[in-house]
């Protein structure tokens, strides 16, 4: 796209709670500039579900990013939903449909996490992986890893049909054998938060991703690095999410998109991750 082309204003916002630390405005400003779009991205703090629903009904943005704890509600509010959003049980992207027909819901958590890991050379095929948490973020990541050939074990505080409890023998075995551990719980967002599991179980060959970012080094990242693991906070995943979501927004605006998610990731990585 040449300079001055497609100069329609692209208005977006992040809906969530405790989002002052968010890097999304800077990331999307970079994407707007790369595509010669006059864009605006705002943070919309929502204290509760009522505030979230009011924001959706009263604001005029073409698209919203949605963060914890409103991803399930975002899916419920959508007129249509992607398979990834339905499988995860929640949406982190809402794109306004044409002619006032509500919102389309997407979940880019899993694809964004995978895109970041691919940029770091992680090989998914047959890799034993653990994902901590049972919310939409965890389920989206687990599904994305599974789709790329990884062997995924879901871990949580309590056992269930599709998950193991952190303290169980089987969970501890899975953590020892893991080549990737993704913590998709909220732990680390508040001072004094500990780890969801015993991090001394991790082998140095394990890659650790904590989806939390912007709150300093979490207890998990510190412990993983002490074990010799390559450990990353959630900023790289956030960049991946934005890279996957941006073509959806451009499509809603009727703008041609010749760049791939990998291209958008590289643009943001150069400006925000190195």
Residues annotated catalytic, as ranges: 71
Q: Residue 229: name the closest of 187, 180, 196, 167 by CA.
A: 180
What is the rounded CA–CA span in Å between residue 235 and residue 62? Answer: 24
Rounded CA separation 184/182 (Å): 6
Q: How many Cβ atoms from other residues are within 10 Å of residue 198's Cβ?
A: 13
- CA gap 131, 150 in Å, rounded: 11
Pairing of strands 103-106, 10-16: unpaired
Place of tokens 């900023």: 235
Q: How far, in Å, CA of 7 to CA of 88, rounded?
A: 35
DSSP assignments along 160-218, one per residue:
BTTBEETTSHHHHHHHHH-SEEEE-SSTTSSTT---SS-GGG--TT-EEEES--SSSS-
**What is the β-pairing status of strands 93-96 and 63-66?**
antiparallel
Q: If you ran DSSP here, which 8-state letter would residue 98 be given?
A: G
């Amino acid at each position: 796209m040449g300079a001055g082309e497609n100069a329609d204003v692209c208005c977006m916002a992040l809906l969530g709670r405790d989002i002052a630390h968010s890097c999304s405005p800077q990331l999307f400003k970079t994407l707007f500039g790369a595509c010669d779009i006059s864009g605006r991205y705002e943070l919309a703090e929502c204290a509760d579900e009522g505030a979230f629903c009011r924001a959706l009904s009263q604001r005029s943005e073409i698209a919203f990013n949605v963060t914890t704890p409103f991803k399930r509600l975002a899916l419920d509010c959508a007129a249509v939903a992607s398979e990834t959003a339905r499988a995860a049980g929640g949406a982190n992207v809402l794109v306004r449909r044409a002619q006032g027909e509500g919102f389309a819901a997407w979940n880019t958590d899993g694809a964004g996490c995978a895109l970041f890991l691919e940029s770091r050379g992680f090989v998914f095929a047959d890799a034993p992986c653990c994902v901590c948490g049972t919310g939409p973020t965890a389920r989206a990541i687990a599904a994305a890893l599974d789709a790329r050939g990884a062997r995924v074990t879901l871990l949580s505080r309590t056992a269930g049909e599709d998950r193991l409890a952190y303290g169980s023998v089987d969970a501890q075995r899975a953590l020892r054998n893991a080549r990737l551990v993704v913590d998709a719980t909220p732990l680390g967002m508040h001072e004094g938060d500990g780890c969801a599991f015993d991090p001394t179980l991790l082998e140095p060959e394990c890659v650790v991703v904590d989806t939390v970012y912007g709150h300093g080094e979490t207890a998990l990242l510190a412990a993983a690095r002490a074990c010799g693991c390559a450990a990353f906070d959630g900023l790289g995943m956030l960049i991946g999410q934005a890279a996957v979501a941006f073509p959806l927004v451009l499509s809603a605006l009727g703008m041609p998109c010749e760049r791939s998610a990998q291209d958008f990731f590289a643009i943001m990585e150069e400006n925000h991750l190195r």
